[in-house]
Amino acid sequence: MSQDPSSTTTPKEPVVKVEEKKLVVSFIQFLRQKVSANECTDSQIEGLEIAVQCLENAFSLTDKNYAFQPSKPLLQLLTEAEGLKAGEEEFPAPSADDIQRANALKEEGNECVKASKFNDAIEKYNQAIKLNRDPVYFCNRAAAYCRLEQYDLAIQDCRTALALDENYAKAYGRMGLALSCQNRYDAAIEAYKKALELDPNNDSYKSNLAIAEEKVREASQRFQNNPGANPFGGLGSLLGGAGAGGVGGMPGGMPDLGSLMNNPQMMQAAMQMMNDPNMQNLMGSMMEQFMGGSAGGAGGGGFNDLLAAGQSMAQQMQQANPELVEQLRQQFSGTSTEEGGNQQNQGNNPSNPDNNQQQ
């Protein structure tokens, strides 16, 4: 899905087309049929139930939408359209001709990038990837996505490139740029460090790493200067330390709970974490301290004990599910886009999301 970089402000109302609803209904029917065929474990079923709820909410589906009946099941449509065969190797080896054609398409994509025709470049890279799943093609497409400010797609392409070549420094570097443009500086720092391990003399990686580290220091300093702005003490500190700028009417530093609830991965991770006996015991202890100390007022030991328990829970969350904590961290430290348009790439972030030439 292409997007004009000049119009990336988040819409105030969901934009959902009728045909998109039909696609999502078809996909949900596929998920339910897979569960009905007893092809899923209990853990899978739990995750799929969350996914269905999130999809229905995100696309504003009602029971009436399920009156749509596709002419063929979604999986069959995909299989026929892509010419897939049962039992075929996931990624068959490309022929010499495929490799040559793919490289030519990649070069055409690079020329499109130079001409700032980023959507055209993405289409060229798409065609190249169909012929040969070379990590360079994914990394180049990530650069084009960045120029369109489609950072999530860019990050996924970098991750795919690294899955194909774990020693691909440029993929780490470009992922760091995309993460920085989303204000996800902790994750960007890790990406830049990995890039420098593989390419220690790259000045661009060094410069961008220094910028990301400075951003983290600034956020930490803001929190230290105004610790009272975040009522969640150690938990808020662990999740990014942002003491300013609440979202959606919530207190400063609080996350957008609607976004959290609409994130299937986060919902599944949260459910798994809450099923952990250690976490259940910790939550029970917190409730006991809260109920026991509530009569003493905010100045009593009960509230301090509650904050200490919150810090303990935060540490437990970090150990049990670091990916969930990282997502929460971004919610706590993210910047509101209600005013002033898209604020993802401001401040000292690299203005050019791709400081290196295409390969």
Q: Give me the pLDDT at residue 92, please.
A: 83
In this structure, are residues 217 and 249 in contact, taking their beta carbons and an 8 Å threshold? Answer: no
Q: Give me the pLDDT at residue 233, please.
A: 44
DSSP secondary structure letters along 172-234: HHHHHHHHHHTT-HHHHHHHHHHHHHH-TT-HHHHHHHHHHHHHHHHHHHHHHH-GGG-TTHH
192 and 145 housed in the same domain: yes
| 357: Cβ contacts below 8 Å, ≥ 6 apart | none
Query: Could you tell me if residue 226 is inside a domain?
Result: no
Cα gap 148→151, rounded to integer Å: 8
Query: Could you tell me if residue 8 is inside a domain?
Result: no
Q: What's 198's domain CATH number?
A: 1.25.40.10
Q: In this predicted model, what pLDDT tens digit does every residue of 209-224 receive, in sequence order?
A: 999 999 999 988 887 7
Query: Could you tell me if residue 132 is inside a domain?
Result: yes
Q: Give me the pLDDT at residue 89, please.
A: 72
Last residue within a domain, chosen from 186, 221, 256: 221
| 66: Cβ contacts below 8 Å, ≥ 6 apart | 25, 29
Q: Give me the pLDDT at residue 195, please.
A: 98
Q: Is the dihedral of CA 222, 225, 229, 230 positive or negative?
A: positive
Q: Give me the pLDDT at residue 238, please.
A: 47
Cα gap 106→129, rounded to integer Å: 9
Range of the domain at 45: 18-82
In this structure, are residues 99 and 125 in contact, taking their beta carbons and an 8 Å threshold? Answer: no
106 and 78 housed in the same domain: no
Query: Could you tell me if residue 329 is inside a domain?
Result: yes
Burial of 284 (C-beta count, 10 Å sphere; 0-12/13-18/19+): exposed
| 172: Cβ contacts below 8 Å, ≥ 6 apart | 158, 162, 191, 192, 194, 195, 198
Q: Give me the pLDDT at residue 338, please.
A: 37
Binned average pLDDT, 10 residues per bin, the chain of 359 residues: 49 86 96 94 95 94 94 91 80 93 98 98 98 97 97 97 98 98 95 98 97 92 66 46 38 49 58 61 58 47 54 62 64 43 48 58
Q: What's 71's domain CATH number?
A: 1.20.5.420
Q: Give me the pLDDT at residue 77, please.
A: 92
Instruction: Answer whether 0.75 is exceeded by the pTM.
Output: no
Q: Give me the pLDDT at residue 91, please.
A: 82
Query: Could you tell me if residue 209 is inside a domain?
Result: yes
Q: In this predicted model, what pLDDT tens digit does every residue of 303-322 receive, in sequence order?
A: 555 555 566 666 666 666 66
Q: Give me the pLDDT at residue 248, please.
A: 37
201 and 124 housed in the same domain: yes
Burial of 17 (C-beta count, 10 Å sphere; 0-12/13-18/19+): exposed
176 and 108 housed in the same domain: yes
Neighbouring C-alpha atoms within 13 Å toward the C-beta of 124: 19
Query: For the chain, what is the domain count?
Result: 3
- Of 90, 31, 91, 37, the residue nearest 55 (C-alpha): 31
In this structure, are residues 160 and 138 in contact, taking their beta carbons and an 8 Å threshold? Answer: yes
* 3-class SS of residue 107: helix
Q: Give me the pLDDT at residue 12, please.
A: 74
280 and 186 housed in the same domain: no
